[in-house]
Amino acid sequence: MPIIHQCPFRNCYYMTELKKDLNKHKLTSHVTTIKTTQIKSGDPESMLEFGAKLGLIPVEYVTYRQQFLCVFDIECLECEYSGKKEGMDSNIEMEQRIVSLAAGSNIPGTDDVFFCRESSAPETEEEIIKQFVGYLEDVHTELLMQLPP
C-alpha cells in the first residue's frame, strides 16, 4: 500500500503519493496574498506645465505634441582594426564598418531611403554617409515647411 502524504494545513484536503508534490503544494497553495491600495505621491504637474505657470513658455505649448519623426538604421560589419594603435587611451581590437544606411519619415513630401556600399573601399563608406546626411537635410527642410508660422 502506497504512503499517502496529506497537507498539514487546516481545511486543506490535498493528498498525494509523492512527497515532492506535497512540498510544491505547500509552497504555492498556502501563500498569503497582501492587498494594498496605490496612492499617488509627488507633483503630477509636468515640466511644461510648470514652465507655463511661471510664464517662461506660452500656455499653448503645454498641449503641443510632435507629429512628425524620422527614424534610421545603420548596419555594420565588425572587422579587425588595422589603424595605428599607438597613443590610444584604450585597446582597440575591432572596428565597425558601415554596410548600409536606411531612413524613413512620416513628414509629407519625404520618401524612405536605403543606401548600400558598392564595395569595401573607404570612399564608398564616405559616399553613403554623405547621401544619408543629405537626406536628413532634405527631411529637415520639409519639416520646417510643415511647422506653423
Nearest 5°: the CA angle 135, 137, 141 is 115
Question: Model-level pTM?
Answer: 0.55
C-alpha cell at 100: 548600409
CA pair distance 96, 88, nearest whole angstrom: 17
For the segment 54-97, what is each residue's pLDDT rounded down to a tens digit?
999 999 888 888 889 999 999 999 988 877 766 666 777 788 89
Nearest 5°: the CA angle 13, 19, 24 is 70
Neighbours of 35 (CB within 10 A): 4
- In the prediction, which pLDDT does 91 show? 72
Domain residue limits, the chain:
1-29, 70-85+92-146
For the segment 5-29, what is each residue's pLDDT rounded down to a tens digit?
888 888 888 888 888 988 888 877 7
CA pair distance 137, 125, nearest whole angstrom: 19
